[in-house]
Each structure stands twice: as C-alpha cells, then as structure tokens.
Amino acid sequence: MPRFLTMIRIEENTIDMEEAGPEFGERMGALFEEITKAGVMLDTAGLLPTSEGTRVTWSDGRISYTDGPFTETKEVVGGYSLSQCKDKAEALEWTRRFLELHPASWKVTAEVRQLDES
C-alpha cells in the first residue's frame, strides 16, 4: 500500500490555541486513535515554532544557516503525518476529517504527497 506524507501548514503567529477550547485535544485524540486502529497512521507530530528552527541552504556552492523565526514566510509547516492508505482518495479523506476538527476561524492547509518508493 502506498504511503503519504501530509504536511500541515499554518500561519503560526495567528493561531490562538485557547480559541480551540479544551475539547479540541479530545477530538484530535479520538481521531488519532481511530486512524491508528484502522492501520493507517504510521507517525505524526507537531513541530516546535520556527523561532527554534534553523534553515540550511545550499546555494552557489556554499552552505548557509539562518536561525528562525522566519518572518519573511507567511505559512510554515507546523506538523506532519505519515500514513499508509489504499490510495490518495483515502489519504485525502483522513486529511479532510483532521482539518474539520480545527476552529473555523483558523487557516490550516494540508499538503498531501505520496512517497516515491519506486
């Protein structure tokens, strides 16, 4: 079965976790439990803020390092999941369900990409 990487993109300076309410974590935990029991979820995690990250760039034959936060970037990867689904349609369905758990006022984007395992 194919594996899919889902990258969760957020505007990290606009997310207010208190707006999500205490039931947000419970709903998310229930969905993660369902995905895991279905044998789909291989791994998932949120990421620390960009203020704690470093970008490593290869350009013109040189390596450069830029410490966060990355203020010039509007959207950042805030988390990921690695899943094994029967097809892309199933991966997109799980992603839809995940996104719909978030408050309607948040902007959260998910990029779903199949791993190249050829």
For the chain, domains (ranges, CATH) are: 3-114 (3.30.70.1060)
In the prediction, which pLDDT does 70 show?
82
Reported pTM: 0.88
At 74 the pLDDT is 83
Is 15 a residue whose pLDDT tops 90? Answer: no
Separation CA 23–CA 76 (nearest Å): 25
Look at residue 73 and tell me whether its pLDDT is greater than 80: no
